[in-house]
Amino acid sequence: MSSTEIDLHQQLKKYFGFSQFKGLQEQVIKSIVNKHNTFVIMPTGGGKSLCYQLPALIEEGTAIVVSPLIALMKNQVDAIRGISSEYGIAHVLNSSLNKSEIKQVKEDITNGVTKLLYVAPESLTKEENVEFLRGVKISFMAVDEAHCISEWGHDFRPEYRNLRHIIKRIGDNIPIIGLTATATPKVQEDILKNLGITDAKTFKASFNRPNLYYEIRPKTKNVDADIIRFVKQNDGKSGIIYCLSRKRVEELAQALQVNGIKAVPYHAGLDAKTRIKHQDMFIMEDIDVVVATIAFGMGIDKPDVRFVIHHDIPKSLESYYQETGRAGRDGGEGHCLAYYAYKDIEKLEKFMSGKPVAEQEIGHALLQEVVGYAETSMSRRKFLLHYFGEHFDEKTGEGASMDDNVQNPKKKHEAKDEVVLLLKTVKETKQ
């Protein structure tokens, strides 16, 4: 073991109390400490924050962390203060601060007290902030949730597009670290290009979740009854059921309740108090099932969710991966069941029809991948991982047997029908 390795382990223990690095963390940190531009792709929960927090705490100067959400920043800053307030401070610079708070933050940066400065992209664009940051020592710049830079990502934010330009103005030789949980090659390419770091050392963790079982069922009129049956067969287990519309969420939650299942609805149309109550009931296991729109799930870390059901197919495979990924966080069983009808794809296409053409084209391409996944007769895990640019060996790969297509291979003639169907749908949507 080299001296730097021993050193990093000590630092990890000292600042965070962990005795082991998770996955690729150590290699990433070495790359950052060695001043390389660095690109980190790890699934949610992979431990991306520590990749920049630890080097920020050891290095001279202040690390700037760009993050899209004020709530996320607050969480991280509180967490960092909780573990290592005696060593250095994390600060936020965004629109939630008043004038005197901003002054205090700037003083702490100038005095070298602030090791981590979290900024929203719109704050970073402000001329007075750029001017200020030009004059202080910056260790590196981390761009968290870097997929926000890409129109192909699930959360495009135009402000992210200016980052490269602003970083250059703050300092020419500042190493840039991009981090994301979105693994599609297109988004990755966009990130590297837009951040101007095509030379970055790239670290990509596997996106395979071997304990998740993937299943697609045709969506018929009996979908509600089918879901109720499934939930009853999984009595007492925690699960999430995603629906596209609020109305559907309410209806299905009621249908479950009527059938003696402990379920609550969750969507953005409910008031904040009810939403928090329902979320807590789920975490505390007063109820078993949350029927929800995609408003539910961000930041919810319930390790023993045993099933995720999609009543409606999601609009991209990224969304599908994120949402199904909430099952089996503890490594235990996680059944991911989605109901699919081509009609639902058409519905999603229709939703987009008011949007700008470029957006529609992207949305359409993403939907076609969903169609491919839902209609395929090959290993779903292989399809999904291929979409994320990852090779998966369907014979020997971890979790290879964990999907409906592998468990019940379709007969040849059925598979042929499917090809015809696929061609037909592609033709139809091209019109």
Place of tokens 């479950």: 256
Please say which residue, 84 or 377, places its beta carbon nearer to ligand ADP. Answer: 84
23/61 with CB nearer ligand ADP = 23
How are beta strands 305-310 and 334-340 bridged, if at all?
parallel
81 binds ligand ADP (CB under 6 A): no
Which of ligand ADP, Mg ion, none lies near 171, with the C-beta cut-off 5 to 8 A by kind?
none
Partner touching 44 among Mg ion, ligand ADP, none, CB below 5 to 8 Å by kind: ligand ADP
42 binds ligand ADP (CB under 6 A): yes
Q: Is 299 in the site for ligand ADP (CB under 6 A)?
A: no
Report the distance separating Cα 416 and Cα 413, nearest Å. Answer: 5
Closer to ligand ADP by Cβ: residue 51 or 256:
51
Structure tokens at 189: 């390419």
CB 264 within 8 A of CB 214: no
Tokens 């640019």 identify what position? 389
- Based on its alpha-carbon atoms, the radius of gyration of the chain, rounded to whole angstroms, reads 23
- Minimum CB separation from ligand ADP for residue 199, in Å? 23
Number of residues that bind Mg ion (CB under 5 A): 1
* Residue 50 or 252 with smaller CB distance to Mg ion: 50
User: Which are the contacts of 416, defined by CB distance < 8 A and separation ≥ 6?
Assistant: none
CA dist 278 and 293 (Å) reads 13
Exposed (0-12), middle (13-18) or buried (19+): which is 273, by Cβ within 10 Å? exposed
Question: What's the closest the beta carbon of residue 49 comes to ligand ADP, in angstroms?
Answer: 3
Q: Cα–Cα distance between 242 and 239 in angstroms, integer?
A: 10
Alpha-carbon distance 86 to 84, whole Å? Answer: 5
Distance in Å, CB of 155 to ligand ADP, minimum: 14
What 3-state class would DSSP assign to 100? helix
Q: What is the DSSP letter of 355?
A: S
Q: Cβ–Cβ contacts within 10 Å for residue 134, how many?
A: 11
The nearer residue to Mg ion, 27 or 75, going by C-beta atoms, is 75
Token pair 């992979």 is found at: 46
Residue 47 is a binding residue for ligand ADP (CB under 6 A)? yes
Q: What is the DSSP string of 124-160?
A: HHSHHHHHHHHTS-EEEEEETTGGGG-TTSSS--GGG
Q: Applying CB under 6 A, which part among 16-24, 235-243, 267-275, 368-376 lies near ligand ADP?
A: 16-24
Identify which range of 39-47, 132-140, 163-171, 414-422 contacts ligand ADP by CB under 6 A. Answer: 39-47
Stretch that binds Mg ion, among 46-54, 106-114, 341-349, 417-425 (CB under 5 A): 46-54
> Closest residue (Cβ) to Mg ion?
48
Binders of Mg ion among residues 47 to 86 (CB under 5 A) are 48
Q: Does 384 bind ligand ADP (CB under 6 A)?
A: no
Q: CB 125 → Mg ion: shortest distance, Å?
A: 22
- Which one of Mg ion, ligand ADP, none is in contact with 22 (Cβ closer than 5 to 8 A by kind)? ligand ADP
How far apart are the C-alpha atoms of 395 and 390, rounded to whole Å?
A: 15
179 secondary structure, DSSP code: E
Per partner kind, with CB cut-offs from 5 to 8 A, the member of Mg ion, ligand ADP, none near residue 45 is ligand ADP
If binding is defined by CB under 6 A, does position 385 make contact with ligand ADP? Answer: no
Alpha carbon distance 160, 148 (integer Å): 6
Check binding of 18 to ligand ADP (CB under 6 A): yes
Nearer Cβ to Mg ion, position 46 or 399?
46
- Choose which of 8, 15, 36, 48 interacts with ligand ADP (CB under 6 A): 48
Element (H, E) at 224: helix 223-233
Tell me which of 31, 37, 38, 49 binds ligand ADP, using CB under 6 A. 49
**Which of 22, 30, 186, 386 contacts ligand ADP by CB under 6 A?**
22
Rounded Cα–Cα distance for residues 65 and 68 (Å): 10
Paired sense of beta strands 89-93 and 114-119, if any: parallel
Stretch that binds ligand ADP, among 47-55, 163-171, 226-234, 381-389 (CB under 6 A): 47-55
Confirm or reject binding of residue 303 to ligand ADP (CB under 6 A).
no
Using CB under 6 A as the criterion, which residues of the chain lie in contact with ligand ADP when the complex forms? Answer: 18, 20-22, 25, 42, 44-50
**Residues contributing to the site for Mg ion (CB under 5 A):** 48
